[in-house]
Chain A
Amino acid sequence: MKAKIIVMPKKTVLDPQGKTVKNALESMGFHSVKDVRVGKFIEVELTADNKAALKKKIDRACHDLLSNPVIEEYSFEII
Protein backbone atom coordinates (compact mmCIF):
# COMPACT_ATOMS: atom_id res chain seq x y z
CA MET A 1 0.00 0.00 0.00
CA LYS A 2 0.95 3.61 -0.44
CA ALA A 3 0.26 6.62 1.73
CA LYS A 4 0.16 9.88 -0.17
CA ILE A 5 0.67 12.72 2.27
CA ILE A 6 0.32 16.44 1.68
CA VAL A 7 1.81 18.89 4.17
CA MET A 8 0.92 22.56 3.81
CA PRO A 9 1.84 25.69 5.79
CA LYS A 10 -1.10 26.82 7.93
CA LYS A 11 -3.10 29.75 6.59
CA THR A 12 -2.01 31.84 9.59
CA VAL A 13 1.68 31.25 8.85
CA LEU A 14 3.57 33.51 6.49
CA ASP A 15 4.69 31.57 3.40
CA PRO A 16 7.48 33.62 1.80
CA GLN A 17 8.19 30.81 -0.65
CA GLY A 18 4.62 30.87 -1.94
CA LYS A 19 4.75 34.64 -2.22
CA THR A 20 7.95 34.52 -4.24
CA VAL A 21 6.52 31.88 -6.58
CA LYS A 22 3.41 34.05 -7.01
CA ASN A 23 5.63 37.00 -8.00
CA ALA A 24 7.49 34.80 -10.49
CA LEU A 25 4.24 33.56 -12.01
CA GLU A 26 3.09 37.16 -12.39
CA SER A 27 6.31 38.09 -14.10
CA MET A 28 5.63 35.20 -16.52
CA GLY A 29 2.35 36.86 -17.39
CA PHE A 30 -0.03 34.96 -15.10
CA HIS A 31 -1.81 38.01 -13.77
CA SER A 32 -4.84 36.09 -12.58
CA VAL A 33 -2.90 34.37 -9.75
CA LYS A 34 -4.63 35.14 -6.47
CA ASP A 35 -2.40 33.23 -4.06
CA VAL A 36 0.28 30.54 -4.02
CA ARG A 37 1.21 28.32 -1.08
CA VAL A 38 4.10 25.90 -1.26
CA GLY A 39 3.94 22.66 0.70
CA LYS A 40 5.30 19.12 0.53
CA PHE A 41 4.13 15.88 -0.99
CA ILE A 42 5.39 12.71 0.70
CA GLU A 43 4.85 9.20 -0.58
CA VAL A 44 5.32 6.29 1.83
CA GLU A 45 5.27 2.70 0.63
CA LEU A 46 4.21 0.10 3.19
CA THR A 47 3.37 -3.50 3.64
CA ALA A 48 0.05 -3.75 5.43
CA ASP A 49 -3.37 -5.14 4.87
CA ASN A 50 -5.45 -3.51 7.57
CA LYS A 51 -6.24 -0.10 6.14
CA ALA A 52 -7.90 1.23 9.30
CA ALA A 53 -4.92 0.37 11.50
CA LEU A 54 -2.56 1.83 8.94
CA LYS A 55 -4.57 5.04 8.85
CA LYS A 56 -3.99 5.50 12.57
CA LYS A 57 -0.26 4.90 12.21
CA ILE A 58 0.12 7.29 9.29
CA ASP A 59 -1.83 9.89 11.21
CA ARG A 60 0.64 9.57 14.10
CA ALA A 61 3.60 9.73 11.70
CA CYS A 62 2.17 12.92 10.17
CA HIS A 63 1.50 14.47 13.54
CA ASP A 64 4.82 13.57 15.20
CA LEU A 65 7.32 13.75 12.37
CA LEU A 66 6.19 14.47 8.84
CA SER A 67 4.51 17.76 9.77
CA ASN A 68 4.98 20.27 12.55
CA PRO A 69 1.46 21.03 13.82
CA VAL A 70 2.63 24.44 15.07
CA ILE A 71 3.11 25.69 11.51
CA GLU A 72 1.68 23.06 9.18
CA GLU A 73 -1.44 21.01 8.49
CA TYR A 74 -1.58 17.70 6.69
CA SER A 75 -3.92 15.40 4.84
CA PHE A 76 -3.35 11.96 3.37
CA GLU A 77 -4.91 9.14 1.46
CA ILE A 78 -4.01 5.47 1.47
CA ILE A 79 -4.22 3.60 -1.80
Chain B
Amino acid sequence: MLMKFGVIQFPGSNCDQDCYHAVADVFCQPVRYIWHKDKTLGDVDCVIVPGGFSYGDYLRTGAIARFSPAMKAVAAHAKTGGLVIGICNGFQILCEAHLLPGALIRNRGLKFICDHVYVRVETTDSPFTNACRRGQILRIPIAHGEGSYFAEPNVIEQLKREDRILVRYCDKNGNVTDAANPNGSLENIAGICNEARNVFGLMPHPERASEKLLDSEDGRLIFESILATAAFR
Protein backbone atom coordinates (compact mmCIF):
# COMPACT_ATOMS: atom_id res chain seq x y z
CA MET B 1 0.00 0.00 0.00
CA LEU B 2 1.38 3.37 -0.98
CA MET B 3 1.58 6.28 1.39
CA LYS B 4 1.45 9.85 0.15
CA PHE B 5 4.14 12.11 1.58
CA GLY B 6 4.50 15.88 1.55
CA VAL B 7 7.76 17.70 2.29
CA ILE B 8 7.41 21.29 3.49
CA GLN B 9 9.80 23.81 1.96
CA PHE B 10 10.62 26.99 3.85
CA PRO B 11 13.11 29.58 2.66
CA GLY B 12 16.29 28.16 4.19
CA SER B 13 15.23 24.51 4.30
CA ASN B 14 18.16 22.41 3.14
CA CYS B 15 17.20 18.82 3.89
CA ASP B 16 14.00 18.93 1.85
CA GLN B 17 15.62 17.26 -1.16
CA ASP B 18 17.23 14.59 1.03
CA CYS B 19 13.81 13.73 2.43
CA TYR B 20 12.21 13.79 -1.01
CA HIS B 21 14.95 11.52 -2.38
CA ALA B 22 14.63 9.03 0.48
CA VAL B 23 10.85 8.78 0.12
CA ALA B 24 10.75 8.75 -3.69
CA ASP B 25 13.88 6.79 -4.62
CA VAL B 26 14.60 4.57 -1.61
CA PHE B 27 11.05 3.76 -0.47
CA CYS B 28 9.33 4.33 -3.83
CA GLN B 29 6.39 6.27 -2.37
CA PRO B 30 4.54 9.21 -3.93
CA VAL B 31 5.87 12.50 -2.58
CA ARG B 32 5.58 16.17 -3.39
CA TYR B 33 6.87 19.46 -2.07
CA ILE B 34 4.63 21.84 -0.17
CA TRP B 35 5.66 25.50 -0.35
CA HIS B 36 5.56 27.42 2.94
CA LYS B 37 2.96 29.80 1.53
CA ASP B 38 0.56 27.00 0.60
CA LYS B 39 -2.57 27.17 2.72
CA THR B 40 -3.46 23.52 2.14
CA LEU B 41 -1.38 20.36 2.10
CA GLY B 42 -3.42 18.56 -0.53
CA ASP B 43 -3.87 14.83 -0.38
CA VAL B 44 -1.05 13.65 1.89
CA ASP B 45 -0.90 11.00 4.62
CA CYS B 46 2.41 11.97 6.17
CA VAL B 47 4.00 15.41 6.33
CA ILE B 48 7.77 15.77 6.69
CA VAL B 49 9.00 19.04 8.19
CA PRO B 50 12.63 18.90 7.05
CA GLY B 51 15.88 20.18 8.47
CA GLY B 52 17.68 23.35 7.56
CA PHE B 53 17.66 26.94 8.70
CA SER B 54 14.12 28.08 8.02
CA TYR B 55 13.96 31.88 7.71
CA GLY B 56 17.65 32.03 8.51
CA ASP B 57 17.03 30.84 12.10
CA TYR B 58 16.19 34.48 12.85
CA LEU B 59 15.00 35.27 16.38
CA ARG B 60 15.02 31.59 17.45
CA THR B 61 15.23 28.38 15.47
CA GLY B 62 11.77 27.61 14.10
CA ALA B 63 10.20 30.76 15.57
CA ILE B 64 9.25 32.40 12.27
CA ALA B 65 8.39 29.21 10.37
CA ARG B 66 5.69 28.52 12.90
CA PHE B 67 3.62 31.41 11.51
CA SER B 68 3.71 30.27 7.88
CA PRO B 69 0.41 29.27 6.22
CA ALA B 70 1.76 25.76 5.60
CA MET B 71 2.35 25.23 9.32
CA LYS B 72 -1.27 26.14 10.07
CA ALA B 73 -2.24 23.41 7.62
CA VAL B 74 0.21 21.02 9.30
CA ALA B 75 -1.40 21.73 12.68
CA ALA B 76 -4.84 20.99 11.21
CA HIS B 77 -3.48 17.79 9.62
CA ALA B 78 -2.06 16.71 13.00
CA LYS B 79 -5.30 17.49 14.77
CA THR B 80 -7.21 15.08 12.57
CA GLY B 81 -4.70 12.31 13.26
CA GLY B 82 -2.47 12.77 10.19
CA LEU B 83 1.17 11.79 10.59
CA VAL B 84 3.82 14.50 10.99
CA ILE B 85 7.55 13.95 11.35
CA GLY B 86 9.86 16.88 12.05
CA ILE B 87 13.57 16.28 11.55
CA CYS B 88 16.19 18.60 13.08
CA ASN B 89 14.96 22.12 12.23
CA GLY B 90 11.59 20.42 11.71
CA PHE B 91 11.67 19.27 15.35
CA GLN B 92 12.49 22.83 16.44
CA ILE B 93 9.58 24.16 14.37
CA LEU B 94 7.13 21.60 15.81
CA CYS B 95 8.12 22.68 19.34
CA GLU B 96 7.73 26.37 18.49
CA ALA B 97 4.33 25.57 16.96
CA HIS B 98 3.29 23.83 20.21
CA LEU B 99 2.66 20.58 18.36
CA LEU B 100 5.31 19.11 20.66
CA PRO B 101 6.21 20.25 24.18
CA GLY B 102 9.53 21.78 25.21
CA ALA B 103 12.20 23.57 23.18
CA LEU B 104 15.57 22.99 21.56
CA ILE B 105 18.29 25.28 22.86
CA ARG B 106 21.96 25.89 22.04
CA ASN B 107 24.18 22.80 22.36
CA ARG B 108 25.89 22.78 25.74
CA GLY B 109 29.32 22.92 24.08
CA LEU B 110 28.14 25.80 21.86
CA LYS B 111 29.55 24.02 18.81
CA PHE B 112 27.60 22.99 15.74
CA ILE B 113 27.90 19.19 15.74
CA CYS B 114 27.96 17.17 12.53
CA ASP B 115 28.56 13.53 13.42
CA HIS B 116 27.17 10.03 13.47
CA VAL B 117 25.59 9.23 16.83
CA TYR B 118 23.83 6.26 18.38
CA VAL B 119 20.25 6.45 19.57
CA ARG B 120 18.29 3.80 21.46
CA VAL B 121 14.69 3.07 20.58
CA GLU B 122 12.81 3.49 23.86
CA THR B 123 9.40 2.36 22.69
CA THR B 124 7.92 0.68 19.64
CA ASP B 125 4.48 2.02 20.50
CA SER B 126 4.38 4.72 17.81
CA PRO B 127 3.80 4.96 14.05
CA PHE B 128 7.46 5.98 13.75
CA THR B 129 9.18 3.18 15.67
CA ASN B 130 6.88 0.17 15.31
CA ALA B 131 9.29 -1.59 12.89
CA CYS B 132 12.10 -1.38 15.47
CA ARG B 133 12.84 -3.56 18.46
CA ARG B 134 12.62 -1.95 21.89
CA GLY B 135 16.18 -1.13 22.92
CA GLN B 136 17.43 -1.34 19.34
CA ILE B 137 20.46 0.85 18.68
CA LEU B 138 20.38 3.00 15.55
CA ARG B 139 23.38 4.79 14.08
CA ILE B 140 22.10 8.02 12.55
CA PRO B 141 23.83 11.34 11.80
CA ILE B 142 23.11 14.62 13.55
CA ALA B 143 23.93 18.12 12.26
CA HIS B 144 22.80 20.92 14.53
CA GLY B 145 23.80 23.83 16.72
CA GLU B 146 20.58 24.01 18.72
CA GLY B 147 19.65 20.46 19.64
CA SER B 148 19.66 20.48 23.41
CA TYR B 149 16.18 19.42 24.45
CA PHE B 150 14.70 21.34 27.36
CA ALA B 151 11.36 21.17 29.13
CA GLU B 152 10.20 21.84 32.68
CA PRO B 153 10.53 18.86 35.09
CA ASN B 154 6.75 18.21 35.11
CA VAL B 155 6.78 17.97 31.29
CA ILE B 156 9.73 15.56 31.33
CA GLU B 157 7.89 13.43 33.92
CA GLN B 158 4.79 13.40 31.74
CA LEU B 159 6.81 12.36 28.66
CA LYS B 160 8.30 9.49 30.64
CA ARG B 161 5.01 8.45 32.18
CA GLU B 162 3.25 8.43 28.82
CA ASP B 163 6.10 6.61 27.05
CA ARG B 164 6.58 9.50 24.63
CA ILE B 165 10.37 9.57 24.52
CA LEU B 166 10.90 7.54 21.34
CA VAL B 167 14.69 7.77 21.02
CA ARG B 168 17.53 8.65 23.39
CA TYR B 169 21.21 9.31 22.69
CA CYS B 170 23.33 6.36 23.81
CA ASP B 171 26.76 4.83 23.30
CA LYS B 172 27.33 2.06 20.77
CA ASN B 173 26.36 -0.54 23.35
CA GLY B 174 23.09 1.17 24.10
CA ASN B 175 24.05 2.74 27.42
CA VAL B 176 22.36 6.09 27.95
CA THR B 177 25.19 8.09 29.50
CA ASP B 178 26.18 11.72 29.77
CA ALA B 179 29.26 11.03 27.64
CA ALA B 180 26.98 9.79 24.85
CA ASN B 181 24.86 12.93 25.03
CA PRO B 182 26.15 15.15 22.22
CA ASN B 183 24.30 18.36 23.06
CA GLY B 184 23.16 18.39 26.68
CA SER B 185 19.58 17.30 26.04
CA LEU B 186 17.67 16.56 29.24
CA GLU B 187 17.31 12.79 29.77
CA ASN B 188 19.42 12.28 26.60
CA ILE B 189 16.25 12.97 24.62
CA ALA B 190 16.79 12.72 20.85
CA GLY B 191 13.12 12.49 19.84
CA ILE B 192 9.63 12.67 21.32
CA CYS B 193 6.05 12.32 20.16
CA ASN B 194 2.85 14.15 21.07
CA GLU B 195 0.10 12.81 23.29
CA ALA B 196 -1.84 11.36 20.34
CA ARG B 197 1.45 9.76 19.09
CA ASN B 198 0.96 10.98 15.50
CA VAL B 199 3.51 13.82 15.65
CA PHE B 200 7.19 12.95 16.03
CA GLY B 201 10.17 15.27 16.30
CA LEU B 202 13.80 14.18 16.37
CA MET B 203 17.19 15.82 15.92
CA PRO B 204 18.97 12.94 14.10
CA HIS B 205 18.47 12.60 10.32
CA PRO B 206 17.00 9.20 9.36
CA GLU B 207 16.77 10.33 5.72
CA ARG B 208 20.56 10.57 5.62
CA ALA B 209 20.95 7.03 6.90
CA SER B 210 18.69 5.07 4.60
CA GLU B 211 21.16 3.78 2.01
CA LYS B 212 24.33 1.68 2.10
CA LEU B 213 26.07 4.39 0.10
CA LEU B 214 25.53 6.76 3.02
CA ASP B 215 27.29 4.48 5.51
CA SER B 216 24.26 3.59 7.64
CA GLU B 217 20.86 2.19 6.76
CA ASP B 218 19.46 2.34 10.29
CA GLY B 219 17.27 5.34 9.44
CA ARG B 220 15.24 3.08 7.16
CA LEU B 221 13.48 1.68 10.21
CA ILE B 222 11.82 5.03 10.90
CA PHE B 223 10.42 5.19 7.35
CA GLU B 224 9.52 1.49 7.36
CA SER B 225 7.58 2.09 10.58
CA ILE B 226 5.60 4.85 8.89
CA LEU B 227 4.88 2.60 5.91
CA ALA B 228 3.86 -0.26 8.20
CA THR B 229 1.42 2.15 9.83
CA ALA B 230 -0.10 2.87 6.42
CA ALA B 231 -0.63 -0.82 5.79
CA PHE B 232 -2.24 -1.23 9.20
CA ARG B 233 -4.59 1.70 8.69
Could you tell me which A residues sit within 8 Å of B by CB distance? Answer: 9, 12-14, 16-17, 20, 65-66, 68, 70-71
A-B CB contact pairs (8 Å), 9 listed? A13-B105, A14-B148, A16-B110, A17-B106, A65-B67, A66-B59, A68-B60, A70-B151, A71-B105
Query: How many angstroms between the C-alpha atoms of A20 and B101 in the bound complex?
Result: 28
Query: How many angstroms between the C-alpha atoms of A6 and B110 in the bound complex?
Result: 22
Q: Which of B59, B67, B102, B110 contacts A70 (CB 8 A)?
A: B102
Could you tell me which B residues sit within 8 Å of A by CB distance? Answer: 59-60, 63, 67, 95-96, 101-103, 105-110, 148, 150-152, 184
- Closest CB-CB distance, B217 to chain A, in whole Å? 34
Report which residue of B95, B106, B184 has the largest number of chain A beta carbons within 10 angstroms of its beta carbon: B106
Number of A-B pairs, beta carbon distance below 8 Å: 36
Report which residue of B105, B107, B151 has the largest number of chain A beta carbons within 10 angstroms of its beta carbon: B105
- Closest CB-CB distance, A67 to chain B, in whole Å? 8
Query: How many angstroms between the C-alpha atoms of A16 and B150 in the bound complex?
Result: 13
A70–B103 touching, CB < 8 Å? yes
- Closest CB-CB distance, B149 to chain A, in whole Å? 11
- Closest CB-CB distance, B185 to chain A, in whole Å? 11
Nearest 5 interchain pairs by C-beta: A70-B103, A71-B103, A16-B110, A16-B108, A16-B106
- Closest CB-CB distance, A38 to chain B, in whole Å? 10
Q: Which residue of A lies closest to B183 (CB)?
A: A16
A16–B109 touching, CB < 8 Å? yes
Q: A14-B105, A16-B106 are in contact. Are A68 and B148 (CB under 8 A)?
A: no
Query: How many angstroms between the C-alpha atoms of A60 and B169 in the bound complex?
Result: 36
Report which residue of B148, B150, B151 has the largest number of chain A beta carbons within 10 angstroms of its beta carbon: B150
Q: A68-B103, A70-B103, A71-B103 are in contact. Are A13 and B110 (CB under 8 A)?
A: no
With a cutoff of 8 Å between Cβ atoms, the chain B residues found around residue A20 in the complex are 110
Q: Which residue of A lies closest to B66 (CB)?
A: A65
B184–A14 touching, CB < 8 Å? yes
A68–B63 touching, CB < 8 Å? yes
Q: Which residue of A lies closest to B61 (CB)?
A: A68
Query: How many angstroms between the C-alpha atoms of A65 and B63 in the bound complex?
Result: 7
- Closest CB-CB distance, B74 to chain A, in whole Å? 18
- Closest CB-CB distance, A17 to chain B, in whole Å? 6
Q: A13-B105, A16-B107, A16-B108 are in contact. Are A70 and B63 (CB under 8 A)?
A: no
- Closest CB-CB distance, B70 to chain A, in whole Å? 17
Query: How many angstroms between the C-alpha atoms of A25 and B195 in the bound complex?
Result: 44
With a cutoff of 8 Å between Cβ atoms, the chain A residues found around residue B150 in the complex are 13-14, 70-71
Query: How many angstroms between the C-alpha atoms of A61 and B20 in the bound complex?
Result: 35
- Closest CB-CB distance, A1 to chain B, in whole Å? 22
B152–A12 touching, CB < 8 Å? yes
